[in-house]
Amino acid sequence: MTAREQSCPETNQVNSIEQGRYCVLSTAHLTFQTADCLDKWASWPPSDRPIDIAASVYGWFVPTRDLLEERRANLPEDLLGLIAFGRARGFQFVLLDCDADCAEDLPVHDW
C-alpha cells in the first residue's frame, strides 16, 4: 500500500467520490455591474466575499444553496435570480460562462 493510500483509504473506492450537479448558463444573464462585482469578489480572500464563488477562465461557479438574509441583502437581484433558478431545478452550482447558451426563463442583458 502506498503512503497516499494509507493517508486516504478511499483512494480506490470510486463510490466514495463526492459528486454534485451544476448547470451552465450564459453570463449574459448578469448585468455588467454584477459581472464586475463577481470579478472583484473572486480576487478577495474567501472569508471577505459576500458569497462563495470560484472564478473560471470564462466566468464563475456560484453555489445555489440557500443564503442567510444578511448575505442575500449584499447580492444583486440578477445574481439572486440565477441562484434561485439553479436551486429550483436541483442544481448545487451554476456555472456562468460567456460561451454558454441563454435560458428562456431568465432575463438577458446586452453588454
The dihedrals phi and psi of 24, each to the nearest 5 degrees, come to: -115, 120
Q: Quick check: 53 and 62 in contact, CB under 8 A? A: yes
Give per-residue pLDDT as tens, 19-33.
889 999 999 999 999
Residue 16 pLDDT level (bands cut at 50, 70, 90): confident
Could you tell me the maximum CA-CA distance found in the chain, to the nearest angstrom? 56
Give per-residue pLDDT as tens, 23-80.
999 999 999 999 999 999 999 999 999 999 999 999 999 999 999 999 999 999 999 9
Higher pLDDT, 18 or 97: 97
Q: Which three cell numbers stand for residue 37?
A: 462585482
Alpha-carbon distance of 49 to 28, in angstroms, equals 22
Q: What is the mean pLDDT of residues 89-102?
A: 97
How many other C-beta atoms lie within 10 A of the C-beta of residue 91?
A: 19
